Structures are given as C-alpha cells and as structure tokens.
Structure 1
Amino acid sequence: MLRLCCKTKNGSHLMHGLTHRSCVQELKRKVEELTGIPCDVQKIMVGYPPSSLDLRNGEAHLKDYPIKSGDTLIVEEEKNKPKPQDRPAVTKGPNLEVSPVLARRVVPADNSCLFTSVYYVVEGGVYDPACAPEMRGLIAQIVSSDPAAYSEAVLGKTNEEYCTWIRRDDTWGGAIEVSILSKFYQCEICVVDTQTVRVDRFGEDAGYHKRVLLIYDGIHYDPLQKEIPGSDTPPQTIFSTTDDVILAQALELADEARRKWQFTDVNRFALRCMVCQTGLVGQKEAREHAKETGHTNFGEV
C-alpha cells in the first residue's frame, strides 16, 4: 500500500488506501477529499526540486509514475484554470460513472450473526436468516466426524459437548467456526476487526481463489459487500484472493468505525447470565462463570 504525505499550505495529510495499482483519478479524488482542491484544478508535484506530474490520463496506474511509498506530494491549485463551479452550466444526464464502494450489510444481532453473514457472502449476497440452524448442524457434523482434529484441547470442551452446544440457537460462533466454514466453502474468509483495525485471514495458505469479507466489532459480525450507491445492480460479495485493494478498503472501513467508536470492548462490556441473572463484566468473568456453573447463555446489558 502506498503511504503518501499530501502537503498544502494548510498542513500535511497522510493518505491511506492507495496502491501502485490505483489509478490517477483515485489519487485526484483522495487529494480533493483531503485538501478541498477540485480534481480539475490540481497541480501535483513530487521530488526535489519539485517537478509537476502529468496526470491528464485518469485511467493510468500510479506504478507508471515516479511515486514511492513515503513520498511527499505537493499540491497547489492552478489559478489559471476555472473551477468546476465557474464553468458554464451544462445540463447533466444520469451519472453513469458512480464508482462501487465497499460497505457493511447489517444483519440482526440474534446470536447467529456469524452464520447469517458467512452465508450471505459465500452465496453472493443472499440474505436468509433461516440458514443458521443448517450451518450449525453442518459444523457439528464436521467436528463430530474428526474427533482427533477437534479435540477438547482445541474446542475447550469435549467433542460431544461442543456438538450439542453449537447446535443451540443461543450460542455465538467465533474463530473455530469461521475456520471450519472456510474449509467447507473452499474460500478465504477475512474478518476485519474494528477495535484493533486488523484483518484475520482464515484459509490464507490453503491456495483458495475466492475471498469473502466480514467486519467484526468485538461481539457482532456483519458481511461486507461492494455496491454502487443508488443502483439496483446486485452487490459483489466474492473477490479474488489476489485483490489486495479490497483488503485495504476493508481496513479503511474498520478504521473509520474505530474512530467513531463503533466497536465493543470485549474485556469491559456488561453481560448478564440469562440462567441465574448474575451480572458480569467482560469475556473473562463470563468464562469463569460458565466454568463454575455450567451456564453458557449470556446477554449483553
């Protein structure tokens, strides 16, 4: 990923999300977003002494220009060019060039959000909340068929206890279940964490060609999809494992959520045991309570 410092008279800004495969128009839009200088009147310079870049071909890739990660780009407004708003008004037709964006598709927080989210992305954008029991049963079947691989040391409970537990509709899925589903669907499942702004790639080294993405806030999972705003075009949920740009966009989405505090601190959030109504704080107390009492049905307060 390119990390560029965009310098103007008003200060400097660090640009994320651009790669050498990004096009010139993406760079111009990012500069406009950070500086307020419209794309049409930008003069972008690099190096010392600064030399102006010829960025007239908006489809050209940044790899074709003398720009390296960490470079400082100097941006000025070309005064001799009219700003877009100063030009004669032209009647516009429908905007046919709206770029697709990566977005969160919210699913219900019903203890089965992981299963609903995985099903949504691997099936190409099919939302079916009734899929959860079938997916829970699938996981139980896979686990029970291989007790050596799925031992008590791996599962945290005996193989039989786990299979009974995962079939219940009030239990939550996590890393174990994502790993199993990655193998079953033969695709890389990337989970982007909004608290730590990192991505965990399940099936990364398995040689899969397909990649799907989920976003996770410490408790809840949602699927990620590429969509065209205001369009009826079906969203894209399956990507190539060679598409690193989509991972960069997912991390940007997670970072934005983190800055807006859209995550749950699993070490501090308040829980209540739905069996005995005991109040608990964080995962650690919940695990200890479950170990002491056998109660595993918790609700967030």
Structure 2
Amino acid sequence: MKLTLIYIELDRYMMLRLRCKAKNGTHLMQGLTHQSCVQELKDKIEELTGIPCEVQKIMVGYPPSNLDLCNGEAHLKDYPIKSGDTLIVEEEKNKPKPQSQTTVTKRPSIDLSPVLERYVVPADNSCLFTSVYYIMEGGVYDPGCGPEMRGLIAEIVASNPTAYSEAVLGKTNEDYCSWIRRDDTWGGAIEVSILSKFYQCEICVVDTQTVRVDRFGEDAGYTKRVLLIYDGIHYDPLQKAVPNSDIPAQTVFSTTDDIILAQALELADEARRKRQYTDVNRFALRCMVCQTGLVGQKEAREHAKETGHTNFGEV
C-alpha cells in the first residue's frame, strides 16, 4: 500500500499527512510503501522540509509521542504508522546539524519563533474568569475582572430561564444567578459553555490529568479558537509568545489550526508527567465553615447539598 505525503508548514512544525493530496489536487510526494526502510522516509522528509535526517524529531498520535527511528534499515511496517495518520516533524535544537565542507561564519541570530506557553493567573476562585478575560482581550491581565465576568454570566442565565433551567444548572435559575456572583464559587463547564456562546468563539480546555481536549462551541461554526489549560481545580490561559521579547503574545487562533491543539496536548502531557494536576476524586478537602474533612469532589458536593456550605480548602 503506497503512502502519499503532503507538507504543510505552520510555525516551527512540519505536518505530513498520509494518503492525502495537496490543495491543488496534485501529490507532493510518492513512492513509499510499508516495505520501505526508515531511512527512505527520513530522506523524503528532508527533501520536503529541509530538516536534515540527523536532527529530525518525528512524532505521531495525540498526544504526540516520539518515534524511535534510529535504525535506518528497519521497515515502516514495524512502526505504528498507518494510512491516514499525521506525522509531526520538528527540528531538534539540541542536536548539532551536519557540517558541510564549506564553513560559513554567521553572526549570532535571535530566535523570534513564538512558542505556546501557560500564562499563570492567581488561584483566587476566579481563575476561569480571569483566564477567559485575558485571552479574549488579547493578553490583558485584569485581576479585578472577576465580578464583571460573573455578572455577565448571571445576566445571560437570568435572561433565558428556559434554556438555563434547574435541570441544566443543578439549582434554580434564581439561585444560580445569586451563587455565581459570589467570589467564593468556582466556574466550570457550564460557565465555559456560556462564555463560548457570548464571545462566539471555540474554547478548548486541555486537561493535564487525562491529556484530553474538551472543545466548547466545536460545532457552532466559529472561526476563532482560544485555549485554557486545566489541572483539576485551576485554569490558566495558553498563549503563543516570543521568549524574552516585547512582541505581544497571540491568544486567539483559527479553528482550522490543528497544530496549536497538538502543541497544547504536548504541554498537557509534560504537566502530567510532572504530576502537575489534582485528582478531584481523591484530593483532601476541608469545609472552611464547619471544618469537616472531605475527600474528593463528590463528597464536597454532597456536603454542600446537605449543609449549604460551599467554602472548601485543599488540605
């Protein structure tokens, strides 16, 4: 079975799609089969992307995982690559490039390539609202935006009691509006969904525990996409920025940019490996009203329902 590759360049990444055609309908590359050796694939990638074989980092899957292609004589059929997969190819900066016979001395250059990064906001019960405000305002941090964002959500919910009924909110429309305005309550999926509709923008929440992306507004036909990273109890915005530069960060992306999702999943996977998440089903809590010890989100919900206490602290 032949594999046909297409090359799309987005930022620092090179995407190769198997069994795909270029936009003009012609094949950019042909000639590989599952019996082809690894070196043939690497040579084709170098031909297409300009990245030398020696410094190619080739990833597959979501979240992307590295392919160990050190054995150039091995066949492609021995690797988890199948027709329809996407390969992400990146140049490994820490590996020396092969030197040509003619050495040309160049002046040191400044790397102005933007990278996807987490912008940390305070863990003050309003991290979701602060994060969404930050990305929708193009990188403006306003620590006092919480009441404004909470009020906006309350007004939207109050204006449509049919859509936002007790069955949806878990409490009456009126009780919810009072609840969400309080500065000791947390936002979650309901609030993300409301803000996605208000801003007419797809909001992608990347979970560091499961390395999963939840896409709010995915089927609404929006053209804009923003990204949040979530560790079980805290949200931060994701932005693309040039390190050590005054160039404004990019916080809004196109919904056709799937590379940005792959990069976000890489960040989440790195955080998972470092255990930078909270297991909401097992973490220890204490009710700050009556000092009762609790374990996990489920017990906290039940305690809140029985007592009306909603102020919890992690032990």
TM-score by length of 2: 0.73
Q: Which residue of 1 is the match for residue 154 of structure 2? A: 140
Shift in CA distance, 275/111, structure 1 to aligned 2, threshold 3 Å = same
Q: Which residue of 2 is the match for residue 93 of structure 1? A: 108
Measure the CA separation in 1 of the matches of 2:168 and 2:258: 31
1:256 equivalent among 242, 265, 270: 270
**After the TM superposition, which residues 254-293 of structure 1 pair with which residues of structure 2 at under 5 Å, given as runs?**
254-293=268-307
Secondary structure of 2:302's match? Answer: helix
1:86 CA displacement? 10
1:46 CA displacement? 8.2
User: Which string of whole-angstrom CA distances, capped at 9 and with x for unpartnered residues, describes residues 126-173 of structure 1?
Assistant: 110111100100100111111111111111111111111000001000
1:94 CA displacement? 3.3
Q: Which residue of 2 is the match for residue 119 of structure 1? A: 133
1:55 counterpart = 2:46: yes
**After the TM superposition, which residues 25-174 of structure 1 pair with which residues of structure 2 at under 5 Å, given as runs?**
26=13, 48-50=35-37, 51=40, 52-53=43-44, 55-56=46-47, 58=49, 73=69, 83=98, 90=105, 92-95=107-110, 97-174=111-188
Name which of structure 1's ranges 50-59 and 236-245 shifts more when overlaid on structure 2.
50-59
Q: Which residue of 2 is the match for residue 213 of structure 1? A: 227
Q: Are 1:105 and 1:225, in contact at CA under 8 Å, matched by a contact in 2?
A: yes
Shift in CA distance, 192/25, structure 1 to aligned 2, threshold 3 Å = closer
Measure the CA separation in 1 of the matches of 2:50 and 2:222: 30
Q: Which amino acid aligns with 1:291?
A: K
Q: Which amino acid aligns with 1:171?
A: T
Shift in CA distance, 49/215, structure 1 to aligned 2, threshold 3 Å = closer
1:47 CA displacement? 5.7
Q: Are 1:46 and 1:74, in contact at CA under 8 Å, matched by a contact in 2?
A: no
User: Which string of whole-angstrom CA distances, capped at 9 and with x for unpartnered residues, describes residues 207-238 of structure 1?
Assistant: 11100000000000000000111221110000
Measure the CA separation in 1 of the matches of 2:158 and 2:98: 66
Measure the CA separation in 2 of the matches of 1:181 and 1:54: 42
Paired positions, count: 256
Measure the CA separation in 2 of the matches of 1:257 and 1:54: 30
Measure the CA separation in 2 of the matches of 1:91 and 1:243: 34
Q: Which amino acid aligns with 2:188?
A: G
Q: Are 2:288 and 2:313, in contact at CA under 8 Å, matched by a contact in 1?
A: yes
1:90 CA displacement? 3.3
Shift in CA distance, 58/166, structure 1 to aligned 2, threshold 3 Å = same
User: Which string of whole-angstrom CA distances, capped at 9 and with x for unpartnered residues, describes residues 61-85 of structure 1?
Assistant: xxxxxx9979985666xxxx98459
Q: Which residue of 2 is the match for residue 39 of structure 1? A: none
Q: Are 2:7 and 2:49, in contact at CA under 8 Å, matched by a contact in 1?
A: no
CA RMSD of aligned residues (A): 3.1
**Identity across matched positions, percent:** 72
Query: What are the ranges of 5 or more consecutive residues in structure 1 without an aligned counterpart?
Result: 1-18, 29-44, 61-66
Measure the CA separation in 1 of the matches of 2:97 and 2:226: 44
Measure the CA separation in 1 of the matches of 2:141 and 2:204: 19
User: Which string of whole-angstrom CA distances, capped at 9 and with x for unpartnered residues, describes residues 180-213 of structure 1?
Assistant: 0001111000000001111001011111110000
Query: What are the ranges of 5 or more consecutive residues in structure 2 without an aligned counterpart?
Result: 1-5, 16-31, 52-57, 62-66, 73-95
**After the TM superposition, which residues 186-205 of structure 1 pair with which residues of structure 2 at under 5 Å, given as runs?**
186-205=200-219
Q: Which amino acid aligns with 1:277?
A: Q
Q: Which amino acid aligns with 1:55?
A: E
Measure the CA separation in 2 of the matches of 1:137 and 1:93: 51
Q: Are 2:207 and 2:229, in contact at CA under 8 Å, matched by a contact in 1?
A: yes
Measure the CA separation in 1 of the matches of 2:34 and 2:300: 56
